[in-house]
Amino acid sequence: MKRRDFLKQSALLSAASVTQFSFQSDSTCKTVLRGGKSFYNGQWQMLDVGIIATGKLKMGEVNSLSADEVVEVTGKIVSPGFIDILADNAANPERTYKIFEKYKVTDGVTTALQMHGGSAEIARYYAAFGRLPHRINYGVSTAVMRIRHATSSISERKKRVEQCLEEGALGVSHSIEYQPTPFAEVLEFAKLAKKYERPFFLHLRYSSREQELEGVEEAIRVARESGARVHINHLHSTGGTYHMAEALTKIRAARSQGQVITCCVYPYSYWATYLHSKRFDEGWKERYGLSYNDLQLVGTGERLTAQSFARYRELKKLVAVPEGTMPLADTIDLALKEDFCMIGSDGGIEYEPHGNSHPRGAGCFATAIRHALDIGMPLEKILEKITTMPRNLILPALKERGVLADGAWADLTVFDPLQIKARATVANPNQFSEGIHSVWVNGKLAADKGVLRAESGMGIRY
C-alpha cells in the first residue's frame, strides 16, 4: 500500500464506536506521542496523544500539549491498543502466562480476553492472577466445558455458571463440537448470560461440509429463544468453511429480525487444533478431505504419518492443516465485509523455545492489518474490528478501553502501516511481529521496537 493512498483513506466508524472529545491546550502530560496519525471523529488526523500521570489519555491538537517526554512517531499510526477477545492460554496459565503475554504485546495486543473457554473458578482465577505482574490486561469467560466435566446434573451446572457470573466473569462460553451438549441445556446457559447481560460465546456444533450450516442455524435459534448476545467463534473454521456466503446471509437475516449475533475470524487460510480433540475422531480424513501427510506438527513443520499421528495424539500435540484449506477469498474476505464480524486470534503461544501453537498466537493482528490493506480494505475499518468492535462486545467492562478519548486508559499501539506484518510460521510460531513501533498499557511503555518493558496490565472483570 502506497503512503499517499493510505493518507487519502477515510470513512466513518459506526456511531457506537465514536467517542467525542474536546482538545485541551493547558495540561501537562507525562508523555506525549507526536507526529503520528490517528483515525478520530471520522477522519485521519495528526494529533497530540498525551498520557497523564494516572495512565489515562489526554487528546490535543498537534503541538498543543506539553509533556515531560515527547515521543516522535512521525509516519506511524497511533491506534487504541488491539483487543483480542479470543485469546487462548488454557493449558497451564499460571506457568505459561508470561510467554503468552510476551507474544501478544509484541503483536500490538494490550488486552487479551479468554472468551473461548476461560475459567470455571472465576474468583480464584482473578485472585491468583491479581498477585502476578502482567504485560497486558487480561480477563476470562465462564468455561462451561470444565463445569460440565466436573458435574453431572444440569441444576448444579447452572448453579456453577451463575456463581462464575456473580464473581465477575466476562461472559459464558461453550464449545459444543468438542463437548456435544443437548440444545435445551445450551439454551439454559445462554439464558444465564442474558440474565447478567453478558455475551454468550459459542463454538458451533459442526465443522463438516454437510452440517456446518446447521450449526449456524442452531446459534441463531439460541439467540432468538434466549435473548442473549451470541458470538460465534471463528466462523470461517466452524460454520462457514464451505458455505461462508450462506452462513453470513443467515446471520444477517437474524440480525434484521432483532437477534444480536456477532462473529469473529482469524486471518489465516488454515486451522490447527489438538490431535486428541473430537475433530480427529474416526472419519476425519473423509470429513476434511485430508491425509496424514497433510498434517504438520506445529513448531517443527514435520509432516505426519499414520504412526506419528498415533504417537502425537497420545501426546496431545497440536497440528496444522495445509494452507488454503479455508481459502481466504471464499471465507475470511467475505466475513470481513460484514459489520458484525471482528478479529479474534483463537490462539496463544505457551511454550519456549519451540511453540506447539498456531502462528495466530503471535501474529494474528499484524497479519489482519497486512491482509486487510493488501485486499484494499481501508485501514480504519480493520482497526475498528480489532479495537472498538471487541470493546463494544464486552461493554461495560471495556468502556474505557479500545478508544482514543480524554479519560480513557492509555492502551495504545503505534505501528508503521507500510511495514507491519507477522513473522510467525507453522514451523516457527515463536516470532515477534514486524512494524510494531511501541505498545503502551495503562499509560506505561510495555514494548518498544520488540524490546519488552513495563509490566502494567490489569485484570478486566465485572
- Structure confidence by residue, pLDDT tens digits, 191-208: 999 999 999 999 999 999
The rounded distance, in Å, linking the Cα atoms of 411 and 427 is 32
pLDDT attached to residue 356: 82
Pairwise CA distance, residues 420 & 428, whole Å: 18
Kindly state the average pLDDT of the residues 13-36. 61
The pLDDT value given to residue 21:
41
Q: According to the model, what pLDDT value does residue 27 have?
A: 60
Number of C-beta neighbours around residue 39 at 10 A? 25
Give the CATH number of the domain where residue 124 resides.
3.20.20.140
Residue 36 has pLDDT above 90, yes or no: yes
Rounded to 5°, angle at Cα 218 from 388 and 266:
40
pLDDT attached to residue 353: 81
Domain count, the chain: 2
CA dist., res. 245 & res. 28, Å (int): 51
Distance CA 309, CA 142 (A): 32
* % of the chain exceeding 90 in pLDDT: 89
Which tens digit of pLDDT belongs to each residue from 146-183? 999 999 999 999 999 999 999 999 999 999 999 999 99
Average pLDDT, the chain: 93
- 48 shares its domain with 104: no
Instruction: Compute the average pLDDT of residues 100-114.
Output: 98
The residues pairing with 261 across neighbouring beta strands, listed in sequence order, are 230
pLDDT of residue 16: 35
In a domain, 111, yes or no: yes
Pair 61, 153 in one domain = no
405, part of any domain: no
Same domain, 60 and 147: no
pLDDT at 187 over 70: yes
For residues 429 and 456, give the distance between their C-alpha atoms in angstroms, rounded to a whole number. Answer: 25
Q: Which domain holds residue 41?
A: 3-13+21-79+411-417+434-452
Task: Answer yes or no: is pLDDT of 15 > 60.
Answer: no
Taking only the tens place, the pLDDT of each residue in 115-135 is: 999 999 999 999 999 999 999
pTM exceeding 0.85:
yes
Region 319-328 average pLDDT? 93
Statement to judge: residues 201 and 344 lie in one domain = yes
**Confidence check: pLDDT of 339 > 60:** yes
Residue 131 lies in a domain: yes
Task: Tell me, yes or no, whether 123 and 44 share the same domain.
Answer: no
Query: 340 with 206, same domain?
Result: yes
Mean pLDDT (whole number) for 232-255:
97
In a domain, 34, yes or no: yes
Q: With DSSP H G I counted as helix, E B as strand and the rest as coil, what are the percentages for the chain, rounded to 5?
A: 30, 25, 45
pLDDT of 338 higher than 70: yes
Q: Is the pLDDT of residue 325 over 60?
A: yes
